[in-house]
């Protein structure tokens, strides 16, 4: 059962959330908070993957809770569902700029779409939970979504994908923002121009008189034939890049002519395709024009955020071939890996390589008070944060919740190591059987 902290003092809202979670089979268990100190303590020690915050409730300190989360985004990487009555959404989004936003919804939208939102999250656990540990266990991560013509689907799926790639250190903040814009533009195009068949002139007239294209989409969806159409969104995440495909059930269009005719200067609308083509790679359409695919290249061996407790620690840069530590030397510090690749040698043989995905280097000898069991050499340029044993102990004393989280990280690393060992053992036994089968009879 997944616990979800709900920061709300509104009893009606809380009862609604409780009943909705129960109706979903009790897979989600809401935990309700009003006191800021209580919720901050819960966030630190339980590290929930999802948080629901009701920003229009004057009885809770929602903004202050958000500020606490923002002080250490490395630790509090879980997604936020923000609810409000009638706040200015741009201002709220600006306040949440450094947060992993899953959805920002008016209360009426939240109550109408809560069940659907939670089903989306349940169906896509692999890109929401466990801080991207799947990328260590699987060579490629692939998935596909079948979306209704619903604005909630657009924003939720775009947020889930971009948050995952950023949390897994596969894309930078700049690339995340560009990918988010491209996904929103192309998904909206698939719904409004493809499935809802809203033409350029109709959209222009609507925007001039109303300003909210989502309302026109909702009106179009009152037609059962339109509402039945789907958008198909699939992704494949490999170590080097992520590839996406979006397909609608519309009649398609002459995308080459449309792209060439798009204006260079922004107007009410009409530059979405051109903007998307500038933000992602290899953007192309099928002949019919109802399917678009594109790619985003990943960054290599970089970390996007650093634990807040290490902000004051010494950062060191190592050049290609430079020794970080030597086998047999005494150990009284460890390193947090910010960027680069580190080769690990034991008795003169290369045994492994460490990257920011491993987070720490030298923690075993550091914790066990042993001498270094291996020599570590920088491959290319590497940046590390050096942490002495005394500093580490003091940091954990001041931030005891970090001790729990770091223990979890070590447990995850052991789990990955055990899985690799199991796979190697399976391959060894298979090879042994194959050799035995071809060995000449004596």
Which of 299, 318, 353 is at the close of a domain?
Answer: 299
Indicate whether 58 pLDDT > 70: yes
Residues 181 and 288 in one domain: yes
Residues 249 and 373 in one domain: no
Residue 190 falls inside a structural domain: yes
pLDDT of 126: 66
Residues 207 and 327 in one domain: no
Average pLDDT over residues 180-190: 90
Residue-wise pLDDT for 382-415, tens only, equals 999 988 888 888 888 888 888 877 777 777 667 7
Which of 246, 277, 299 is at the close of a domain?
Answer: 299
Residues 106 and 173 in one domain: no
pLDDT of 134: 45
Residues 340 and 258 in one domain: no
d(CA 29, CA 26): 6
Residue 131 falls inside a structural domain: no
Residue 159 falls inside a structural domain: yes
pLDDT of 385: 92
Residue 201 falls inside a structural domain: yes
Residue-wise pLDDT for 316-357, tens only, equals 999 999 999 898 888 778 888 999 999 999 988 998 898 887
Residue-wise pLDDT for 292-325, tens only, equals 999 999 998 888 888 888 888 888 999 999 999 8
* Most confidently predicted of 68-72, 215-219, 319-323: 319-323
Instruction: pLDDT band for 10, please (50, 70, 90 cuts).
Output: very high
pLDDT of 176: 92
Residues 108 and 72 in one domain: yes
Find the CATH number of the domain harbouring 113: 3.40.50.2300
Residues 8 and 101 in one domain: yes
Which of 264, 299, 334 is at the close of a domain?
Answer: 299
Indicate whether 257 pLDDT > 90: no
Find the CATH number of the domain harbouring 351: 2.60.120.10
Average pLDDT over residues 61-84: 88
pLDDT of 133: 47
Angle of CA points 152, 158, 161, to nearest 5°: 130
Q: How large a percentage of the chain has pLDDT more than 70?
A: 90
Residues 141 and 112 in one domain: no
Predicted TM-score (pTM) of the model is 0.77
Residue 108 falls inside a structural domain: yes
Q: Which of 123, 48, 122, 112 is nearest to 83 (CA)?
A: 112
pLDDT of 137: 45
Residues 148 and 273 in one domain: yes
Comparing 412 with 435, the larger pLDDT belongs to 435
d(CA 292, CA 269): 19
Find the CATH number of the domain harbouring 201: 3.30.565.10
Tell me how many domains the chain contains. Answer: 4
Instruction: pLDDT band for 60, please (50, 70, 90 cuts).
Output: very high
Residue 128 falls inside a structural domain: no
- Residues contacting 191, CB < 8 A, separation 6+: 147, 149, 154, 217, 231, 248
Residue-wise pLDDT for 113-170, tens only, equals 998 898 888 877 766 654 544 444 446 777 888 888 887 888 888 988 898 888 888 8
Q: Specify the range with the lowest mean pLDDT, choosing from 80-89, 123-132, 251-260, 263-272.
A: 263-272
Residues 318 and 244 in one domain: no
Mean pLDDT rounded to a whole number for the chain: 84
Average pLDDT over residues 216-233: 91
Indicate whether 428 pLDDT > 90: no
Range of the domain at 427: 399-442
pLDDT of 258: 64
Burial class, 246, CB count within 10 angstroms (exposed 0-12 / middle 13-18 / buried 19+): buried
d(CA 75, CA 330): 30
Residue 156 falls inside a structural domain: yes
pLDDT of 408: 73
Residue 171 falls inside a structural domain: yes
CB contact at 8 A, 337 and 359: yes
Residues 219 and 349 in one domain: no
Residues 196 and 255 in one domain: yes
């Amino acid at each position: 059962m997944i616990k979800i902290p709900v920061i709300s003092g509104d009893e009606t809202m809380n009862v609604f959330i409780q009943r909705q979670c129960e109706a979903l089979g009790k897979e989600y268990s809401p935990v309700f908070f009003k006191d800021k100190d209580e919720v901050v303590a819960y966030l630190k020690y339980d590290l929930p993957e999802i948080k629901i915050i009701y920003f229009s409730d004057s009885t809770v300190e929602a903004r202050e809770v958000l500020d606490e989360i923002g002080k250490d985004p490395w630790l509090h990487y879980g997604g936020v569902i923000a609810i409000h009555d009638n706040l200015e959404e741009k201002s709220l989004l600006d306040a949440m700029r450094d947060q992993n936003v899953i959805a920002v919804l008016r209360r009426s939208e939240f109550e109408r779409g809560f069940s659907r939102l939670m089903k989306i999250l349940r169906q896509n656990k692999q890109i929401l939970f466990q801080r991207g540990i799947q990328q260590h266990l699987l060579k490629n991560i692939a998935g596909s979504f079948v979306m209704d013509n619903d604005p909630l689907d657009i924003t939720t799926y775009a947020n889930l994908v971009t948050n995952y790639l950023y949390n897994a250190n596969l894309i930078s903040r700049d690339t995340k923002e560009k990918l988010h814009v491209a996904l929103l533009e192309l998904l909206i195009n698939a719904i409004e121009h493809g499935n809802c068949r809203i033409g350029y002139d109709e959209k222009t007239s609507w925007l001039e008189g109303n300003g909210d294209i989502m309302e026109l989409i909702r009106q179009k969806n009152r037609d059962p034939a339109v509402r039945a159409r789907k958008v198909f969104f699939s992704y494949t995440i490999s170590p080097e890049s992520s590839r996406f495909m979006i397909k609608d059930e519309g009649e398609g269009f002459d995308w080459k002519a449309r792209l060439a005719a798009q204006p260079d200067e922004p107007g009410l609308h009409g530059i979405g395709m051109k903007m998307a083509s500038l933000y992602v790679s290899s953007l192309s359409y099928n002949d019919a024009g109802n399917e678009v695919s594109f790619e985003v290249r990943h960054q290599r061996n970089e970390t996007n955020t650093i634990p807040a407790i290490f902000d004051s620690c010494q950062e060191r840069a190592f050049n290609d071939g430079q020794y970080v530590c030597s086998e047999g030397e005494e150990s009284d510090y460890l390193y947090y890996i910010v960027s680069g690749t580190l080769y690990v040698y034991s008795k003169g043989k290369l045994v492994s390589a460490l990257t920011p995905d491993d987070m720490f280097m030298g923690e075993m000898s550091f914790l066990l008070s042993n001498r270094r069991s291996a020599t570590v050499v920088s491959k290319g340029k590497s940046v590390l944060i050096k942490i002495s044993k005394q500093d580490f102990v003091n940091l954990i004393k001041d931030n005891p919740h970090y001790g729990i989280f770091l223990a979890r990280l070590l447990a995850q690393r052991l789990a990955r190591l055990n899985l690799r060992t199991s796979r190697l053992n399976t391959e060894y036994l298979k090879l042994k059987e194959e050799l035995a089968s071809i060995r000449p009879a004596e």
